[in-house]
Amino acid sequence: MPITTEILTVGDELLRGDLNDTNSTWLAARLFGMGIPVRRIVSLGDDLEPLSGAIEQAIHRGGLVVITGGLGPTDDDRTTCAVARAAKVPLELSNTTLETLRARFASAGYPFTPNNEKQARFPRGAMEIKNSRGTAPGFLLRVGDARVVCLPGVPSEMKAMFDDGVVPLLAQDEAHPAAVRVVRTFGVGESQIDHRLQGLLEAIDADPSEVSLHYRTSFPENQVLLVVRGVADPGATLERFEEEVRRRLSPYVFGVGDVSFSDAVVGALKEAGAKVALAESCTGGLAGDLVTRASGSSSVFELGVVTYSNACKHRMLGVPEEVLEQYGAVSSQCVEAMARGVRDLAKSTYGVAISGVAGPTGGTPEKPVGTVWFGLAHPDGVSHLVRRFPWVHDRQRIKQASAHVALYLVLAHLRDGTDPFEGRWEPGKGGRS
Amino acid sequence: MPITTEILTVGDELLRGDLNDTNSTWLAARLFGMGIPVRRIVSLGDDLEPLSGAIEQAIHRGGLVVITGGLGPTDDDRTTCAVARAAKVPLELSNTTLETLRARFASAGYPFTPNNEKQARFPRGAMEIKNSRGTAPGFLLRVGDARVVCLPGVPSEMKAMFDDGVVPLLAQDEAHPAAVRVVRTFGVGESQIDHRLQGLLEAIDADPSEVSLHYRTSFPENQVLLVVRGVADPGATLERFEEEVRRRLSPYVFGVGDVSFSDAVVGALKEAGAKVALAESCTGGLAGDLVTRASGSSSVFELGVVTYSNACKHRMLGVPEEVLEQYGAVSSQCVEAMARGVRDLAKSTYGVAISGVAGPTGGTPEKPVGTVWFGLAHPDGVSHLVRRFPWVHDRQRIKQASAHVALYLVLAHLRDGTDPFEGRWEPGKGGRS
């Protein structure tokens, strides 16, 4: 059943360019994955007039319009009012929503100001979509053939509400909802992926009218999606897809489906009954943050030490002063000593170390900004690796990529020697760059 | 001269959610900074029909429409054709452009295929906008009162062409570009800000036809913007605005203008000649990541210790085993001992500790998910604070907010006792929740 689907994101901050609109990208991908292609994405400001005009047009076209943003308590959030006006229905106060809001504020110890009451008003006939993470509830309103879905603009709230509250309603309308399988990779660029996956659909004997292949980047990860549409049993096709992609992109694949990078690392450690300890310098703690994004990471991670100064690298991790003087902190010798030091301190299976030049200052001709060394101490010895990231002068991206590399080394070692960074990594005593 | 300005981004990949549309964000910010507010941003696919329809409507509304994408050599790039159709003019081959393209291909050693000729065709009357970085030239077309600007979708090409080729044309029309001042806050919600800033424009005696007030959230921070338009000297108004906002929102303001949270914390430490050390548990290293986002943070931050297990809290930071047994790791006693321990280890001015329940599991009736304790060891003693974050079951947001709170405690102490968390924080020996 083809329907006209639009996404409308609301907020003056979008039109001022203060905020990049990631909500529409996420929603478009979700809807596309469900077999509901989006025809148009529109961003508007908080002015009532153009907002209700655009919603009225979308209602007139029928189909589905998903709106995010403009549900806040302040006067300049006007989405609910605009929907009511476009649908020509009054706003009504929901007493149950009001009580829920009051209770939530009370338990958090925040004062409930009069403008918060606004969030308990909905257009007549709307069905509330609960928000378990924030104060702004959403709603779904049917107007003739059209369905208007309103969600808050805070991405984490919007995503949870869409998946939990909206997807079940939309899925009812689909005879064979699209099936998607996502293969997640790290350490390989999109053009390399494209090169390695040439002819994939022919290789898995997929019917081009039923399947499509897509790439998606979520820095520093790259994803490959296969979408199967209008088929009663897409399972066999998805299996062949996954197997073939794994074959061609091994060892860059870290997970399939709803598995985050942290989940993959923590899961592999748990399965092996192993633990990891971290010695960080330029990443400042980001590798520890990354591993602890997975719930339950406490069973595999007990200790991280962020030694930002040379003195602390020596005092806390036992890096010899001669190493720091002769080779510097950004060197194979230093990361190997850091990795050994933190492994000994934590009495863990693995010790991983990171030391590099995140920039924008501090680079030299020999060690330019983006040069990062990694050390891995494991039960059989210690290894090192250097990466030179080309995103010079983007400090946080260098940190993010480095945190991923550090944890990927553990994953690769757990997989028994698969090498995600061919030729730039030597699992042994010495090492080459 | 108020004009209606729209941005139109073109490409099927945008509607599938494969690519986040950063072009429109960048263009909107550029135009806003030039005093040309954008009224609407639309993303469409590569289909000719809806594309030319949308352009025709924009032309009908008059003003300016900036289009990016769909200028490539392949058949599915249809923007030029859509503009010609909407403007009701034919396409014409530009021989000079054709020669430039041929020469460029020859010098790069690429074959010039027939479809490349497509990029030398423009709607009749268009002015070419040169592309020094790629093959697709852009163009500007005047249709009645409307101006249509077409640029390629590759961000680096688009940005250079906009700044070099489009800005000079648009700037002619503007006498006084808009001036913006941003006040950055942490620890106060948007509805509280709104409440405290009621009547602000009257208080600073601002002319409502020239100034506007806006809020912006960049979790976990909130910002207040004042925009002054069409005024030769906006300085005095911006000064009064900043002073009044500081008065009303103190002590939540951490910076004004282009100052990140990390910049503010690192800057204040530098100014005081002080250093901070971090003892993290539930944040896993995120507070260390946060402080090291500022370049130059190495002069104020030397050591972070992530003690995720109780054993490491005892062994690394000297938290007494009796404290862990009697009160648990999520307690005032534990964070005070952690803060003291890491301050001693690092020999730093401040030691900050974080221990809480990030969830989604591990909560109890006394210590539900979102309960986080903070300890601050300083030259005069040690203090503690508890926060109960209402974003239950969003592990990463609890971590983010906690990392901010931890560093804010240092900032507040450096400011000589200002208290960002009224009533929930006791700077002294004991403490209350």
pLDDT in tens, A258-315: 899 999 999 999 999 999 999 999 999 999 999 999 999 999 999 999 999 999 999 9
User: C-alpha angle with apex A39: A35 to A45, nearest 5 degrees?
Assistant: 125
Residue B1 has pLDDT above 50, yes or no: no
Residues in chain A, total: 433
Q: In chain B, whose CA is at the least distance from the CA of A44?
A: B40
- Which of B7, B39, B41, B400 to probe the A interface (max A CBs under 10 A)? B41
Cβ–Cβ gap A115/B395 under 8 Å: no
User: For chain B, what is the radius of gyration of the CA atoms?
Assistant: 28
**Candidate from A426-430, B22-26, B166-170 with smallest mean pLDDT:** A426-430
DSSP A244: H
Tell me whether strands B301-307 and B276-280 are parallel, antiparallel or unpaired: parallel
Q: In chain A, whose CA is at the least distance from the CA of B31?
A: A16
Q: How far are the Cα atoms of A29, A163, A261, A425 from residue A26, in angstroms, in the given order?
A: 5, 11, 18, 35
Give me the interface pTM, i.e. the ipTM. 0.78
For residue A73, the chain B residues in CB contact (below 8 A) are: 190-191, 194
pLDDT in tens, B207-255: 888 888 887 777 899 989 888 877 888 889 999 999 999 999 988 999 9
pLDDT band at B419 (very low <50, low <70, confident <90, very high): low
pLDDT for position A74? 77
User: For chain A, what is the radius of gyration of the CA atoms?
Assistant: 26
Residue B2 has pLDDT above 50, yes or no: no
Q: Is the peptide bond before B251 cis (omega within 30 degrees of 0)?
A: yes
Residue B3 has pLDDT above 70, yes or no: no
DSSP A252: S
A113 interface with B at CB cutoff 8 Å: yes
pTM for the full predicted model: 0.78
DSSP A81: H
A163 interface with B at CB cutoff 8 Å: no
Q: Which residue has the higher pLDDT, B73 or A247?
A: A247
Q: Which helix (H) or strand (E) holds B60?
A: helix B48-61
Average pLDDT on B60-79 reads 87
- Measured from the Cβ of residue A342, the count of other Cβ atoms closer than 10 Å reads 28
pLDDT band at B401 (very low <50, low <70, confident <90, very high): very high
For residue A406, the chain B residues in CB contact (below 8 A) are: none
pLDDT for position B91? 94
Share of chain B above pLDDT 90, in %: 61
Residue B352 has pLDDT above 90, yes or no: yes
**Candidate from A250-259, B143-152, B169-178 with smallest mean pLDDT:** B169-178
Distance of CA A123 to the CA centre of its chain: 33
The packing angle between helices B310-317 and B332-346, to 10°, is: 40
Cβ–Cβ gap A25/B17 under 8 Å: yes
Percentage helix, strand, coil for chain B under 3-state DSSP, each rounded to 5? 40, 25, 35
Average pLDDT on B125-149 reads 90
DSSP B294: S
- Give me the tens of pLDDT residue by residue for chain A, a chain 433 residues long: 446 899 999 999 899 988 889 999 999 988 987 878 899 999 999 999 999 999 999 999 888 999 999 988 877 789 999 999 999 999 999 998 999 888 888 877 778 887 788 889 999 999 999 988 788 899 999 999 899 999 999 988 899 899 888 988 877 666 666 788 999 999 888 778 888 999 999 999 998 888 888 777 778 898 898 888 778 888 999 999 999 999 999 889 999 988 999 999 999 999 999 999 999 999 999 999 999 999 999 999 999 999 999 999 999 999 999 999 999 999 999 999 999 999 999 999 999 999 999 988 888 989 988 999 999 999 989 999 999 886 656 899 899 999 999 999 999 999 866 555 553 443 333 333 3
Contact between B66 and B5 (Cβ < 8 Å): yes
What is the rounded CA–CA span in Å between residue A8 and residue B197? 29
Q: Which residue has the higher pLDDT, B424 or B205?
A: B205
Q: In chain B, whose CA is at the least distance from the CA of A345?
A: B316
Cβ–Cβ gap A29/B45 under 8 Å: no
Cβ–Cβ gap B295/A108 under 8 Å: no
Q: B423: which residues sit within 8 A by CB, 6+ positions away?
A: none
What is the rounded CA–CA span in Å between residue B431 and residue B433? 7
Q: How far is A356 from chain B (nearest CA, A)?
A: 13
- The burial of B113, by beta-carbon neighbours within 10 Å (0-12 exposed, 13-18 middle, 19 or more buried), is given as exposed
A346 interface with B at CB cutoff 8 Å: yes
Q: In chain A, whose CA is at the least distance from the CA of B285?
A: A285
pLDDT in tens, A132-151: 878 889 999 999 989 999 99
pLDDT for position A113? 80
Residue B309 has pLDDT above 50, yes or no: yes
What is the rounded CA–CA span in Å between residue A2 and residue B300? 59
A303 interface with B at CB cutoff 8 Å: yes
Q: Which residue has the tokens 């806003």?
A: B32
Cβ–Cβ gap B302/A291 under 8 Å: no
A232-236, A314-318, B98-102, B113-117: which is most confident: A314-318
Contact between A55 and A64 (Cβ < 8 Å): no
Half-sphere exposure of A31 (CA within 13 A, CB side): 28
B395 interface with A at CB cutoff 8 Å: yes
- Nearest CB among A116, A293, A308 relative to B292 is that of A308
Distance of CA A21 to the CA centre of its chain: 15
**Sequence-distant contacts of A56-60: CB under 8 A, at least 24 apart:** A56/A85, A56/A86, A58/A6, A58/A8, A58/A146, A58/A148, A59/A86, A59/A87, A59/A143, A59/A144, A59/A146, A59/A148, A60/A146
Contact residues, A window 191-220, toward B, CB-based 8 Å cutoff: 214-216
A306 interface with B at CB cutoff 8 Å: yes
Q: Is the peptide bond before B155 cis (omega within 30 degrees of 0)?
A: no
SS3 B75: coil
Cβ–Cβ gap A285/B296 under 8 Å: no
A12 interface with B at CB cutoff 8 Å: yes
Pick the closest to residue B142 from B118, B126, B153 (CA basis): B126
Q: Which residue has the tokens 């020859």?
A: B106
Q: How far is B93 from chain A (nearest CA, A)?
A: 31
What is the rounded CA–CA span in Å between residue B335 and residue B353? 5
Residues in chain B, total: 433
Contact residues, A window 236-275, toward B, CB-based 8 Å cutoff: none
Tell me whether strands A64-68 and A146-151 are parallel, antiparallel or unpaired: parallel
Question: DSSP E strands: which ranges in B12-145?
Answer: 38-44, 64-68, 91-93, 121-123, 127-129, 138-143
User: C-alpha angle with apex A64: A59 to A70, nearest 5 degrees?
Assistant: 75
Cβ–Cβ gap B194/A73 under 8 Å: yes
Cβ–Cβ gap B190/A14 under 8 Å: no
For residue B39, the chain A residues in CB contact (below 8 A) are: 15, 44-45, 50
Q: Given CA atoms B338, B340, B341, B345 in this order, what sign does their dihedral have?
A: positive
Contact between A37 and B15 (Cβ < 8 Å): yes
Cβ–Cβ gap B289/A291 under 8 Å: no
What is the rounded CA–CA span in Å between residue A125 and residue A143? 9
Share of chain B above pLDDT 70, in %: 92
Q: Which helix (H) or strand (E) holds B341?
A: helix B332-346
pLDDT in tens, B358-400: 988 888 999 999 999 999 999 989 999 999 886 656 899 899 9
What is the rounded CA–CA span in Å between residue A101 and residue A108? 11
**Token digits for A256?**
């399939």
pLDDT band at B425 (very low <50, low <70, confident <90, very high): very low
B81 interface with A at CB cutoff 8 Å: no
- Measured from the Cβ of residue B60, the count of other Cβ atoms closer than 10 Å reads 12
Cβ–Cβ gap A17/B37 under 8 Å: no
Q: Which residue has the tokens 């950055």?
A: B184
What is the rounded CA–CA span in Å between residue A310 and residue A294? 31
**Candidate from B30-44, B215-229, B294-308 with smallest mean pLDDT:** B215-229
Average pLDDT on B76-104 reads 91
Give DSSP secondary structure letters for A87-156.
HT--EEE-HHHHHHHHHHHHHHT----GGGGGGGEEETTPEEE--SSSS--EEEEEETTEEEEEE-S-HH
Q: Which residue has the higher pLDDT, B424 or A266?
A: A266
B293 interface with A at CB cutoff 8 Å: yes
For residue B358, the chain A residues in CB contact (below 8 A) are: 292
Cβ–Cβ gap A284/B292 under 8 Å: yes
Residue B412 has pLDDT above 80, yes or no: yes
Distance of CA B323 to the CA centre of its chain: 41
Cβ–Cβ gap B194/A27 under 8 Å: no
pLDDT band at B175 (very low <50, low <70, confident <90, very high): low
